[in-house]
A = this chain, B = another copy of it.
Amino acid sequence: MTDRSERRAEPLSREQIVATAIAILDEGGADALTFRTLAARLATGSGAIYWHVADKQTLLTAATDQLVAQAIAHVNGGASPNEAIRVLALGVFDAIDAHPWVGVQLANDPWQPAVLRILEAVGAQVTALGVPKQARFNAATALLRFILGLAGQYAVGSSRFGGEMDRTTLLTEVAARWVQLDPVEHPFVRQVAAELSGHDDRQQFLAGVDLILAGIERSRRPTRDTSR
């Protein structure tokens, strides 16, 4: 335009932009982050952001990677591999629980750095478990897919209901919808609805991890398979 104010006191930086993006996402969910709200919060124009960040996808990927990295940084305890995997999985779980938009992001781009980070950590523990080399990839990706499946599960809690209700009321509402389903077409879901409202997501998640761990252990010491 006509006159232009002087250059900003504190210059923009990629770190600052990512941090502000995380703050907006935490406050308002996945939909709250736009380049305009971001620019407003940073007291700049949307164009300036593009000098530091290629596009929105890159920004989301960077934000996700940062939180996941924090979440799984403290895993290398001296515990057993099984226990390390539980700690690792719960770390990701808690990160998604605290920042539901991370779940959306993890589910939507399976080869982003954050996912690689999780796969790497899982793979290390699977290796430590003594799983033979050819089976490691399958075992690690099975665990990874289970964790990312959770990510999708949580995606809705924030995006669909806008973070306005907490997890318990959400589950109760879903359970209420499930009981009203057709008993002929959905007997199992109906039956299981009762457990839904009172259950603990964290515990259920851990049970799933243990199920896979049991499967890994069992496949390492094969017994006769009576089911085939």
Residues of A within 8 A of B (CB): 80-83, 104, 106-111, 116, 119-120, 123-124, 127, 136-142, 144-153, 155-156, 160, 174, 178, 181, 185-189, 192, 195-196, 199, 204, 207-208, 210-219, 227-228
Contact = CB atoms under 8 A, between A and B. Distances in A.
Contacts of A196: 137
A164 to B, nearest CB: 16
Q: List the number of copies, as a whole number.
A: 2
B156 A146 contact: no
A82 B227 contact: yes
B142 A146 contact: yes
16 contacts: A80-B228, A82-B228, A109-B155, A123-B189, A137-B199, A137-B204, A138-B207, A142-B207, A142-B212, A145-B149, A145-B153, A148-B153, A149-B152, A210-B219, A215-B215, A215-B216
B152 A148 contact: yes
A105 to B, nearest CB: 11
B108 A142 contact: no
